[in-house]
């Protein structure tokens, strides 16, 4: 009876669309006899008793990508495809009024169950809320992705914060002023040389010959 049920289940799986079938719900002996392809978030390639697993639909593989059906069970344990939470905004190249309050992270793993640490993009800003968030199975971050706010510095340190934010722009401005000053100086020197040359030329023209 069990054999007939297994054969019937295999036949149904071969005839049906297995797009939504969870491979964990199938005994390994049945899975290796079903059509290979996409099963929910799993993309399965079957090689006899060996199964190669990759994850699709923006999910991350947790476990071994290669498993074998032995004695009615998987060796090693069949992996899982964990859903990923949304990306944290990338670090902006140039800060603007729209990116002052951005958060950043060095963690690349966005899989469900992962906790990441956050910091602020803008110097002088701090996290307004929790600096750690955890990815949930429904692809949401808990707590919600926070924003940054200006840090409250004592009056004597505020100028340091302003300098840290405006530093790159101020440096570019200083360089431009220096270059412009050099160009003006070179132009003035050339003009002076031309005027002196004209003056000497005129002086030579009016100088009488002495015999």
Note whether 37 and 65 are same-domain residues: yes
Note whether 49 and 94 are same-domain residues: no
Note whether 21 and 77 are same-domain residues: yes
207 found inside a domain:
no
Note whether 66 and 115 are same-domain residues: no
pTM of the model: 0.57
> Which residues does 161 contact at the CB level (< 8 Å), separation at least 6?
123, 124, 150, 151, 153
90 found inside a domain:
yes
List the structure tokens of 59: 């999910």
Provide the CATH number for the domain around residue 143.
2.10.70.10
145 found inside a domain:
yes
198 found inside a domain:
no
95 found inside a domain:
yes
Q: How many domains does the chain have?
A: 2
Note whether 55 and 101 are same-domain residues: no
10 found inside a domain:
yes
pLDDT confidence bin for 153, thresholds 50/70/90: low
Residue that is last in its domain, among 21, 52, 81: 81
Note whether 59 and 125 are same-domain residues: no
Phi-psi region of 129 (alpha: psi -120 to 50; beta: other; left: phi over 0): left
Q: Which domain holds residue 12?
A: 2-81
Note whether 90 and 162 are same-domain residues: yes
pLDDT tens string 14-47: 444 445 578 888 888 888 877 778 888 888 888 8
179 found inside a domain:
no
How many separate helices (H) and strands (E) can be counted in the chain?
Answer: 3, 14
Residue that is last in its domain, among 81, 116, 149: 81
CA distance 92 to 87: 14
Residue that is last in its domain, among 131, 152, 168: 168
List the structure tokens of 29: 């002996």
Note whether 91 and 156 are same-domain residues: yes
CA distance 150 to 101: 9
Residue 143 preceded by cis peptide, ω within 30: yes
Note whether 41 and 94 are same-domain residues: no
185 found inside a domain:
no
What pLDDT is stored for residue 89 in this prediction?
A: 77
pLDDT tens string 95-132: 777 788 889 888 888 999 999 999 998 888 999 999 99
């Amino acid at each position: 009876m069990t054999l007939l049920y297994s054969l019937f289940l295999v036949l149904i799986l071969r005839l049906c669309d297995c797009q939504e079938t969870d491979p964990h719900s199938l005994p390994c002996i049945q899975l290796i006899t079903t059509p290979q392809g996409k099963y929910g978030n799993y993309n399965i390639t079957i090689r006899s008793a060996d199964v190669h697993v990759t994850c699709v639909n923006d999910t991350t593989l947790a476990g071994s990508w290669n498993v074998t059906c032995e004695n009615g069970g998987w060796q090693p344990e069949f992996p899982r495809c964990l859903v990923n939470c949304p990306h944290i905004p990338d670090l902006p190249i140039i800060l603007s009024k729209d990116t002052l309050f951005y958060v950043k992270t060095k963690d690349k793993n966005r899989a469900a169950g992962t906790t990441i640490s956050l910091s602020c993009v803008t110097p002088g800003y701090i996290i307004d809320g929790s600096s750690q968030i955890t990815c949930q199975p429904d692809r949401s971050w808990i707590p919600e992705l926070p924003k940054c706010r200006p840090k409250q510095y004592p009056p004597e340190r505020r100028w340091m914060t302003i300098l840290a934010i405006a530093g790159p722009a101020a440096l570019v401005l200083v360089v431009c002023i220096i270059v412009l000053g050099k160009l003006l100086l070179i132009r003035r020197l050339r003009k002076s040389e031309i005027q002196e040359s004209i003056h000497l030329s005129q002086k030579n023209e009016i100088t009488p010959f002495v015999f």
